[in-house]
Chain A
Amino acid sequence: MIELKDAITALVDNDVEFVLIGGVAITLHSSAYVTEDLDLCYSRTNINLVKLCAALGRFKPRARGIPDELPFIFDESTLRNGTNFTFSTTIGDIDLLAEVAGVGDYTVAREKSVDFTIYDRVVKVLSLDALIAAKQAANRPKDQLVLPELLALREALDPNSE
């Protein structure tokens, strides 16, 4: 489970450039889907990596799945040496993606995002159209399960669908 308020407010308050993607984004668009983690598409600029570390460092991120006895350092250098990360933290699992399949990198994701206000903060969230494109591109069994609901939502919200 992820503590959403802690994670999202830390990111916004540290001025991190990110777009919410994945299950939390789907929820904000009115899906009844339940996720357990937080997925972000993030900017790879040096300054943003510094801000990401400032925002999330206090939650002691570690690469998921590595043994507890192995050392792991969460810093800008670690982020610079990879692109996609799956972290366990003291507040839950957080996945950082530099690029979203079917959508593109942070710049494109930001263009294809909409603003939602949660926890008294404005947060960029991948649009319903882009989430559908991402799910169609990923096409894993879990994506196939959520796609019919997203397509139904899009049709319901489209004033020109009937």
Chain B
Amino acid sequence: MRTPEEKLLNPRPGSKIAEARDFGIDLTLIVGKLRKTPQQRIDDLQSAMRFHVELDKAREARLLKK
């Protein structure tokens, strides 16, 4: 029996995993998340949110300069 990681990295043709890959989902990102603890996943999410805020600030500052 294959592990979740093995299934995600080598999807069986016709599977939902293969469908997701074909849809454009980066399955290696899911593999990375599965290796983490729930706390690490939520910390990653908070970091991504902060990064988006910083990007927005930088974009606004750039627009103000123009």
Contact = CB atoms under 8 A, between A and B. Distances in A.
A128 to B, nearest CB: 12
Interface in A7-30: 24, 27-28, 30
Contact of B45 (A35, A148, A157): A35
A4 interface: yes
Contacts of B20: 148-149, 151-152
Contacts of B7: 155-156, 161-162
B42 A28 contact: yes
Interface residues of B, number: 35
A148 B45 CA distance: 20
Most interface-central of A156, A159, A162 (chain B CB within 10 A): A156
B8 A119 contact: no
B49 A152 contact: no
A73 interface: no
Interface residues of A, number: 30
Contacts of B12: 162
Contacts of B46: 3-5
> What is the predominant secondary structure among interface residues of chain B facing chain A?
helix
Contacts of B33: 27, 30-32
A26 B17 CA distance: 17
B8 A148 contact: no
A152 B30 contact: yes
A71 to B, nearest CB: 28
Given A1-B52, A117-B39, A151-B16, 15 more contacts: A2-B49, A24-B45, A28-B41, A28-B42, A32-B33, A34-B48, A34-B49, A35-B45, A148-B23, A151-B19, A152-B8, A152-B17, A152-B19, A152-B21, A161-B15
18 contacts: A1-B50, A3-B46, A24-B45, A27-B33, A27-B42, A32-B32, A34-B49, A35-B49, A116-B38, A119-B42, A148-B19, A149-B20, A151-B16, A152-B20, A152-B27, A152-B30, A155-B7, A162-B1
